[in-house]
């Protein structure tokens, strides 16, 4: 029935129940189900042009970041631009070079920063995660100027080009990564990606949690050692 209505132009946005039924019928896993939902949200009888990628993080979300205390946390957009972060995350990653750019981006860091391969002992997994996330974002943002500029910049890295040509869409919500830190040594971090389902800009809140005792001790020492910093906080909304 939905396909008939779609063909007749009477309904171009299926309900969540329709999407769930389709996902069950096609035996989709969680990542595939989420991708189908995203495609349905942004689809019309013809695909509309993507709007601008937001760099604004609402005050309540920034307040939540700071209330996480010694738990490093940050907010990213669909192109993996880092839009806001708390003091713990800033203090942890600044020595790694993740905040060197005026507009930090995790994919740019992984593929183009000189220290990334040393910082990530499992660099291949980090690179795969970045490409998978960008692949997922192309469904909506492929025609966005900022997104296209980022992809062109990343294409200067052969390792990115190789992955981009063959990598499937993925959007991992949790996992474990290792970081070699100049001050804290080897860290094992469990990351959790919290989706903001009502946010049309597809922002994500990411937290870093210790995966072992030595990492827990390192993160506990962060405290209030750095003031909160965020490009979003510098914007004045009239």
Residue-wise pLDDT tens digits, 6-22: 444 444 445 555 566 66
pLDDT higher than 90, residue 2: no
pLDDT value, residue 210: 96
Examine the pLDDT at 117 and tell me if it is beyond 60. yes
Q: Which residue has the higher pLDDT, 195 or 15?
A: 195
53-62, 136-145, 160-169, 227-236, range with the lowest pLDDT: 227-236
DSSP labels, 43-112: --SSPPPP-PPP----HHHHHHHHHTTTS-EEEE-TT-BEEEE-HHHHHHHGGGTTT-SSS-BHHHHHHH
Q: Which of the four pLDDT bands, split at 50, 70 and 90, describes residue 227?
A: very low
**Given pLDDT bands bounded at 50, 70 and 90, which one contains residue 34?**
low
On the question of pLDDT at 136 being above 90, the answer is no
pLDDT score, position 96: 97
pTM to 2 decimal places: 0.74
Exposure letters 174-212 (e unless 16+ CB within 10 A, then b): eeebbbeeeebeebebebeeeeeeeeeebbbbbbbbbbe
Q: Given pLDDT bands bounded at 50, 70 and 90, which one contains residue 143?
A: confident
Which of these ranges, 64-68, 186-190, 225-229, has the smallest mean pLDDT? 225-229
Q: Which residue has the higher pLDDT, 2 or 38?
A: 38
Strands 204-210 and 174-181: unpaired
pLDDT of residue 219: 92
Max mean pLDDT among 44-48, 133-137, 200-204, 229-233 falls in: 133-137
- What is the average pLDDT across 33-40? 61
How would you class 65 by CB atoms within 10 Å of its CB: exposed for 0-12, middle for 13-18, buried for 19 or more?
buried
**pLDDT value of residue 195:** 84
Mean pLDDT calculated for residue range 102-124: 96
Contact in structure between 141 and 147 (CB atoms under 8 Å)? yes
Confidence (pLDDT) at 37 = 61
Q: Is the pLDDT assigned to residue 53 strictly greater than 80?
A: no
Mean pLDDT on 213-219: 94
User: Which pLDDT score, from 0 to 100, does residue 216 have?
Assistant: 95
Sign of CA dihedral 228, 231, 234, 238: negative
Q: What is the mean pLDDT of residues 132-151?
A: 89
Q: Is a pLDDT exceeding 90 seen at residue 224?
A: no
């Amino acid at each position: 029935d939905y396909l008939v209505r779609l063909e007749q132009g009477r309904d171009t946005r299926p309900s969540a129940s329709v999407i769930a039924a389709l996902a069950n019928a096609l035996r989709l896993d969680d990542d595939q189900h989420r991708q189908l939902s995203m495609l349905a949200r942004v689809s019309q009888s013809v695909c509309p042009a993507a709007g601008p990628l937001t760099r604004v993080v609402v005050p309540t979300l920034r307040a939540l970041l700071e209330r996480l205390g010694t738990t490093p946390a940050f907010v990213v957009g669909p192109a993996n631009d880092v839009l806001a972060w708390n003091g713990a995350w800033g203090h942890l990653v600044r020595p790694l070079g993740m905040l060197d750019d005026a507009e930090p981006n995790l994919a740019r860091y992984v593929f183009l920063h000189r220290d990334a391969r040393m910082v990530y002992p499992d660099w291949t997994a980090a690179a795969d995660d970045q490409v998978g996330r960008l692949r997922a974002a192309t469904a909506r943002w492929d025609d966005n100027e900022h997104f296209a500029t980022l992809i062109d910049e990343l294409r200067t890295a052969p390792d990115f080009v190789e992955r981009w040509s063959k990598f499937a869409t993925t959007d991992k919500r949790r996992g474990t990564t290792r970081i070699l830190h100049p001050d804290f040594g080897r860290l094992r971090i469990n990351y959790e990606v919290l989706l903001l389902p009502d946010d049309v800009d597809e922002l994500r809140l990411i937290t870093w949690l210790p995966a072992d005792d030595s990492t827990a001790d390192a993160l506990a020492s962060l405290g209030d050692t750095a003031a909160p910093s965020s490009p979003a906080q510098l914007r004045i909304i009239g």
